[in-house]
Amino acid sequence: MDDDLLTDDLLTQDHKRLREYGTALLGAWRAYQEEQPVVPDLGDVLADAAKAVADKEQRELRAQLEQARSIAVGLENEAARLRDLVADFTDPDPCHYDHHGYCQAHFWFQTEPACPHRRARELEGGAS
Ligand SMILES: [Zn+2]
């Protein structure tokens, strides 16, 4: 192979040029790295986002549960007041049914629904 054109001088010049080019690239790369913000790991970003969503959902569920508990307590109190009221209204005397099934004791002239005093005693768990 004839290396007439690739003299030592030319090789040295190319090598020198390549070295300068490499140094420039390295400098540019370092400058680029210094200018870039720290890029977080995508897995960490996704994990943080998932945790934030889960925390938010948990807070919302806790708030809804607390609201439901508050409503349940209110309903229990209201039911207790109504049961007390029904108990006070209920005639302790037993029903007396005629041959039609009407309650003569409480002047209730239908069979369905049954005499309200009977239903009230059933509500209290007492005898009908
Ligand atoms: Zn009755």
Domain assignments of the chain as residue spans, ordered by start? 1-38, 40-89, 92-128
CA of 31 to the centre of ligand 1 (A): 96
User: In tens digits, what is the pLDDT along the chain, a chain of 128 residues?
Assistant: 455 555 666 668 778 888 888 888 888 888 887 887 777 788 888 888 899 999 999 999 999 999 999 999 999 999 999 999 999 999 989 999 999 999 999 999 999 999 999 999 998 876 55
CA of 29 to the centre of ligand 1 (A): 97
Task: Write down the number of H helices and E strands in the chain.
Answer: 3, 0
User: What is the SS3 assignment for 61-77?
Assistant: HHHHHHHHHHHHHHHHH
CA of 102 to the centre of ligand 1 (A): 8
Residues whose CB falls within 8 Å of the CB of residue 87, separated by 6 or more in sequence, listed in order: 120, 124
